[in-house]
């Protein structure tokens, strides 16, 4: 999507993708990955997700990338965390305690020479249209060291029933995108059913949340 699309969504508070609760898949499956406590964890297209607080509470150094300055400001102000700011490369970096958020275009992240042994994606891949996904996966793979683990959460629904984000990224699409760089293990599928407003209203016939564990190949 164009940057203006996401800036407008934040400016008009059309952020239905934001969740107050920590993602259930993260809470259940991250501990099984045995990521060392002090590892740096990459969270691309992070918004103001409370999942980052949860990851920091596990002892990790969280490094998020977010396009919207409003999202970054809200993340720290809501948590009452005074953040230091500095310009690093093409980014404005906000840092408080164990969390660093780089405000700017994630697709310039290669300029920072950062490397990670773990990553978490709940809302990045599903925010991108098909035309941007290969570039996203290539960049993600370049930022992760061999053996690094990625917990990936996507959604699956009949794609002809919804044209905008979150986009449907079913298991076969995950395998097609990631297999050149990662081993892939499907962990769970959670069917929301009528608990999802669009399923309840009949706009979508089903809506599933999928969870995968990926390991960066050597």
Task: Report how far residue 128's alpha carbon sits from residue 169's, in angstroms, rounded to the nearest whole number.
Answer: 10
Q: Confirm if 37 and 98 have CB atoms less than 8 A apart.
A: no
How many distinct structural domains can be found in the chain? 1
The 3-state DSSP class for residue 160 equals helix
CA pair distance 94, 139, nearest whole angstrom: 22
Q: Is 24 annotated as a binding residue?
A: no
pLDDT score recorded for residue 2: 62
pLDDT tens-place string over residues 55-97: 999 999 999 999 999 999 999 999 999 999 999 999 999 999 9
Cβ proximity of 162 and 198 under 8 Å: yes
Structural domain including 196 reads 3-13+21-216
What's the maximum distance between 2 C-alpha atoms anywhere in the chain? 47
pLDDT at position 21: 86
Question: Which residues are registered as beta bridge partners of 116?
Answer: 144
Q: Is 216 annotated as belonging to a binding site?
A: no
Beta strands in 3-98 (DSSP E): 40-43, 61-66, 84-88, 91-96
pLDDT in tens, 34-50: 999 999 999 999 999 99
14 vs 172, residue with greater confidence: 172
On whether 171 is known to bind a ligand per the annotation, the reply is no
Contact 111, 177 (CB under 8 A): no
pTM here?
Answer: 0.92
The Cα–Cα gap between 10 and 14 comes to 6
30 marked among binding-site residues: no
Q: At what angle do helices 130-143 and 171-178 cross, to 10 degrees?
A: 50
CATH number, domain of 150, equals 3.40.50.150
């Amino acid at each position: 999507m164009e940057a203006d699309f996401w800036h407008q969504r934040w400016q008009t508070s059309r952020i239905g993708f934001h969740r107050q609760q920590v993602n259930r898949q993260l809470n259940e499956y991250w501990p099984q990955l045995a990521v060392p406590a002090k590892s740096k964890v990459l969270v691309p297209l992070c918004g103001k997700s409370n999942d980052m607080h949860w990851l920091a509470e596990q002892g990790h150094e969280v490094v998020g990338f977010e396009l919207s300055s409003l999202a970054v400001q809200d993340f720290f102000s809501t948590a009452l965390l005074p953040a230091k700011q500095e310009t690093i490369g093409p980014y404005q970096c906000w840092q408080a305690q164990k969390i660093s958020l780089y405000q700017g275009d994630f697709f310039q992240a290669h300029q920072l020479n950062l490397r990670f042994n773990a990553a978490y994606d709940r809302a990045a891949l599903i925010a991108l249209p098909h035309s941007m996904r290969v570039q996203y996966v290539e960049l993600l793979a370049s930022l992760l060291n061999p053996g690094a683990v990625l917990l990936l959460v996507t959604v699956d629904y009949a794609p002809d029933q919804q044209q905008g984000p979150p986009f449907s990224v079913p298991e076969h699409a995950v395998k097609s995108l990631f297999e050149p760089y990662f081993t892939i293990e499907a962990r769970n599928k959670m069917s929301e059913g009528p608990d999802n407003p669009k399923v309840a209203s009949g706009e979508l016939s089903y809506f599933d949340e999928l969870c995968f564990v990926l390991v960066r190949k050597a």
